């Protein structure tokens, strides 16, 4: 059978059209079936109007106690271990008082505070500068206050890193996969050229679990709904004096610190 | 008209071949970066923008500076710029192209660049930067090409070109304003968080761009049969002088606010750049070099004897351009990242691969500039003959 130019073009056009329409048609007639759907039982997901965390420094007596939280996060989220500090990926890590709270540092801190290391992580701000600057909405704030990343949309412009006042964002300067010690197959790895950060374990909350660091903290990290008066976070904020990082910037961080110490 | 770019002397072709060779090296370096990731550059978690974005910022200024010949000619009937408006517009085109390329090579996921259009986000300054830059590119291509080709055909330019010319004037200011907003709207980056950033950018652009144009005019006068005219060059030199002095004045304003208020955050980046901070000071020699060039250039441009002498004028213009290139095309961006938000210091220096990619982009810019100027000059010379 011979096909002339006109017939060929017709056939090619029809095939192309089918290709274009095919996938949306599938979606109309069989919604949701093409997407991976994690097992979720009714009422299982933890939900909140605004998730927040309190870091109780008094409850972190030793280096080991907060390192457990960092390790739990690193392992679960497939955080690569990159030796070169310039290319490090960090979701949650520990800093000295003068680095975590540079604006409140007066040069003379007590010995106990001097020894302390403060867990720092994405503040999941109420008013996040990173979300404001992202040109593709690859980073956005969810209704429950968590600031998340879409690794498949991120173009790697790093505007969010310039905007973040807390240095909470890391960029994959190279392929991170060879640097993951123990791969957790149930959590995605990232690719080179995208930005990532802590997301308050949004996926674990969805499955009804607490964030990994909170679970490993032995009560030193308190997690709950800031908008719920009866939540443990609000109870703690009512009874203890807390501070946040760089409050003068109006970002309204979702991570509070009980400094304690003497 | 375009065929004019395809004929030339053996020197013309040697220059083109040289540029093509550098472009090839740049492309090879970029392919390496594309496969490995941006880790091949000197950038880091703390200094997350480097040479690419700094060069982008500088060339937005050069592009915007075309308005300094367009505005006096069209709005004030400043006739002596009539011979060089096309040179201004044709300088803007490769500058914007370089800006776009610098942004592109800085992307972690360059294949997703269309996400900026597929998911338009008006709250991001980068979205607006894309709009104003591509708009400005189109305006200059259309205005430059249509004016030149009507000139070539010995007809009056079409009426519809005038509104586009007038539109291109505020548009030029907008590209550099939006570029300044990329920086000046970020909390906790004290060095950039300044309301005068946009005017500071514009003033340094109106010095560095026209200084480059003066050099190009003098070069054209020397190697082609086209004479841009001494009076046009004199006009440009006046603009360079004022803009440079205003630009230095603005830096002075920043220094006063930072050091008289004595707020550490406002002082730190300046300290890092000019004196070093906590033992770190990789950029100190470069910044003082830039300062020295700027001051020398001001003197050379203010003293009538050196301003009118062509040799010293050339030196002055080179000094202006290089000084502002160092300041804006390097120090300004790096300084803003040091110290980091946790007041720690990570220094930055571009890698060889990064510099090769940069050289490739410059060469693309120069190639486009060469071709466009060749067309414009051949047309002008043919008409005058």
The CATH number of residue A228's host domain is 3.30.70.20
Interatomic CA distance for residues B178 and A161, integer angstroms? 19
A44 inside domain: no
Q: Based on the domain organization, do A85 and A200 belong to the same domain?
A: yes
Q: Which residues of A touch B115 (CB under 8 A)?
A: 135-136, 138, 153, 155
Q: Mean pLDDT over residues A157-165, rounded?
A: 97
pTM value is 0.91
Give pLDDT, residue A261: 60
Q: Is it the case that residue A245 has pLDDT exceeding 60?
A: yes
For the stretch A63-82, pLDDT in tens is 899 999 999 999 999 999 99
CATH number given to B2-384: 1.20.1630.10
Q: Based on the domain organization, do A30 and A60 belong to the same domain?
A: no
Please say whether the beta carbons of A118 and A96 come within 8 A.
yes
Q: Based on the domain organization, do A62 and A16 belong to the same domain?
A: no
- Rg of chain B (C-alpha set): 21
Give pLDDT, residue A43: 58
The answer to whether A251 contacts B187, with C-beta atoms less than 8 Å apart, is yes
Please say whether the beta carbons of A161 and B28 come within 8 A.
no
Q: Based on the domain organization, do A153 and A207 belong to the same domain?
A: yes
Query: In this structure, what DSSP letter does residue A243 have?
Result: B
For chain B, the domains span 2-384
A238 inside domain: yes
Q: A58 vs chain B: nearest CA distance in angstroms? A: 22
Q: Which residues of A touch B267 (CB under 8 A)?
A: none
A141 inside domain: yes
Please say whether the beta carbons of B65 and B242 come within 8 A.
no
The DSSP secondary structure of B208-231, one letter per residue, reads: HHHHHHHHHHHHHHHHSS----HH
Residue with the bigger pLDDT between A8 and A122: it is A122
Q: What does each of the 385 residues of chain B score in pLDDT, given as a tens digit?
A: 888 888 888 999 999 999 999 999 999 999 999 999 999 999 999 999 999 999 999 999 999 998 999 888 888 888 888 889 999 999 999 999 999 999 999 999 999 999 999 999 999 999 999 999 999 999 999 999 999 999 889 899 999 999 999 999 999 999 999 999 999 999 999 999 999 999 999 999 999 999 999 999 999 999 998 999 899 999 999 999 999 999 999 999 999 999 999 999 999 999 999 999 999 999 999 999 999 999 999 999 999 999 999 999 999 999 999 999 999 999 999 999 999 999 999 999 999 999 999 999 999 999 999 999 999 999 988 888 7
Task: Check if A58 contacts B (Cβ < 8 Å).
Answer: no
Q: Which domain holds residue A31?
A: 1-37
Give pLDDT, residue A1: 54
Q: Based on the domain organization, do A33 and A93 belong to the same domain?
A: no
For the stretch A189-244, pLDDT in tens is 999 999 999 999 999 999 999 999 999 999 999 999 999 999 999 999 999 999 99
**CB-based contacts of A47: which residues, under 8 Å, 6+ apart?**
A144, A205
Q: Which residues of B touch A166 (CB under 8 A)?
A: 341-342
Give pLDDT, residue A32: 46
- The count of structural domains within chain A is 2
Taking an 8 Å Cβ-Cβ cutoff, which residues of chain B contact chain A? 36-39, 43-46, 48-49, 103, 106-110, 112-113, 115-116, 118-119, 121, 123-127, 130, 182-183, 185-189, 336-337, 340-344, 346
Instruction: Look up residue A172 and give its two tokens.
Output: 């994959």
Q: Based on the domain organization, do A110 and A22 belong to the same domain?
A: no
Q: Mean pLDDT over residues A29-36, rounded?
A: 47
Give pLDDT, residue A19: 64
Q: Based on the domain organization, do A95 and A4 belong to the same domain?
A: no
* SS3 call for A41: coil
Q: Based on the domain organization, do A206 and A148 belong to the same domain?
A: yes
* SS3 call for B315: helix
* SS3 call for B374: helix
């Amino acid at each position: 059978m011979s096909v002339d130019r006109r017939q060929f073009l017709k056939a090619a056009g029809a095939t192309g059209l089918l290709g274009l329409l095919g996938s949306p048609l599938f979606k109309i007639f069989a919604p949701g079936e093409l997407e991976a759907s994690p097992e979720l039982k009714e009422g299982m997901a933890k939900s909140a109007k605004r998730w927040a965390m309190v870091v109780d420094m008094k409850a972190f007596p030793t280096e080991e106690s907060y390192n457990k939280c960092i390790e739990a996060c690193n392992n679960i989220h497939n955080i690569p271990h990159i030796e070169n500090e310039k290319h490090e990926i960090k979701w949650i890590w520990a800093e000295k008082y003068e680095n975590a709270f540079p604006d409140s540092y007066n040069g003379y801190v007590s010995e106990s505070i001097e020894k302390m290391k403060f867990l720092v992580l994405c503040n999941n701000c109420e008013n996040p500068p990173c979300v404001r600057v992202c040109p593709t909405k690859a980073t956005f704030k969810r209704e429950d206050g968590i600031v998340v990343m879409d690794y498949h949309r991120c173009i790697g412009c790093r505007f969010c890193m310039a905007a973040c006042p807390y240095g909470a964002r890391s960029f994959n300067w190279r392929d991170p996969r060879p640097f993951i010690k123990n791969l957790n197959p149930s959590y995605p790895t990232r690719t080179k050229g995208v930005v990532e950060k802590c997301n308050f374990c949004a996926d674990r909350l969805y499955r009804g679990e607490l964030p990994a660091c909170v679970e490993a903290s032995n009560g030193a990290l308190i997690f709950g709904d800031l908008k719920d008066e009866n939540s443990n976070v609000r109870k703690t904020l009512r009874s203890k004096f807390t501070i946040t990082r760089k409050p003068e910037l109006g970002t309204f961080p979702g991570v509070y610190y009980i400094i304690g110490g003497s | 008209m375009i065929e004019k770019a395809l004929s030339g002397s053996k020197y013309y072709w040697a220059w083109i071949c040289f540029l093509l060779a550098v472009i090839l090296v740049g492309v090879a370096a970029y392919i390496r970066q594309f496969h490995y990731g941006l880790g091949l550059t000197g950038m880091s978690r703390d200094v997350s923008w480097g040479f690419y974005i700094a060069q982008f910022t500088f060339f937005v200024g050069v592009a915007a500076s075309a308005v300094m010949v367009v505005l006096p000619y069209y709005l004030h009937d400043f006739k002596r710029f009539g011979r060089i408006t096309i040179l201004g517009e044709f300088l803007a085109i490769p500058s914007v192209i370089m800006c776009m390329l610098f942004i592109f090579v800085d992307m972690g996921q360059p294949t997703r660049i269309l996400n900026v259009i597929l998911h338009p986000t008006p709250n991001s300054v980068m979205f607006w930067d894309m709009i104003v830059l591509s708009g400005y590119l189109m305006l200059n291509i259309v205005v430059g090409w249509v004016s030149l080709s009507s000139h070539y055909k010995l007809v009056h330019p079409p009426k519809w070109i005038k509104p586009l010319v007038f539109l291109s004037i505020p548009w030029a200011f907008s590209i550099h304003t939006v570029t300044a907003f990329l920086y000046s709207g970020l909390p906790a980056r004290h060095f950039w968080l300044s309301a005068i950033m946009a005017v500071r950018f514009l003033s340094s652009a109106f010095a560095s761009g026209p200084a480059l144009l003066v050099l190009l005019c003098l070069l054209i006068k020397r190697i082609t049969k086209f004479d841009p005219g001494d009076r046009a060059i004199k006009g440009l030199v006046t603009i360079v002088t004022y803009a440079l002095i205003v630009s230095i004045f603005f830096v002075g304003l920043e220094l006063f606010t930072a050091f008289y208020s004595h707020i550490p955050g406002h002082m730190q980046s300046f300290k890092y750049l000019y004196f070093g901070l906590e033992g770190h000071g990789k950029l100190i020699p470069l910044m003082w070099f830039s300062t020295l060039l700027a001051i020398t250039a001001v003197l050379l441009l203010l003293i009538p004897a050196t301003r009118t002498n062509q040799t010293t004028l050339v030196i002055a213009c080179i000094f202006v351009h290089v000084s502002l290139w160092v300041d804006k095309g390097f120090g300004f961006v790096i300084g803003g990242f040091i110290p980091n938000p946790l007041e720690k210091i990570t220094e930055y220096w571009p890698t060889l691969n990064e510099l090769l990619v940069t050289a490739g982009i410059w060469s693309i810019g120069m190639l486009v500039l060469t071709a466009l100027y060749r067309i414009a000059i051949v047309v002008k010379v043919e008409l005058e003959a």
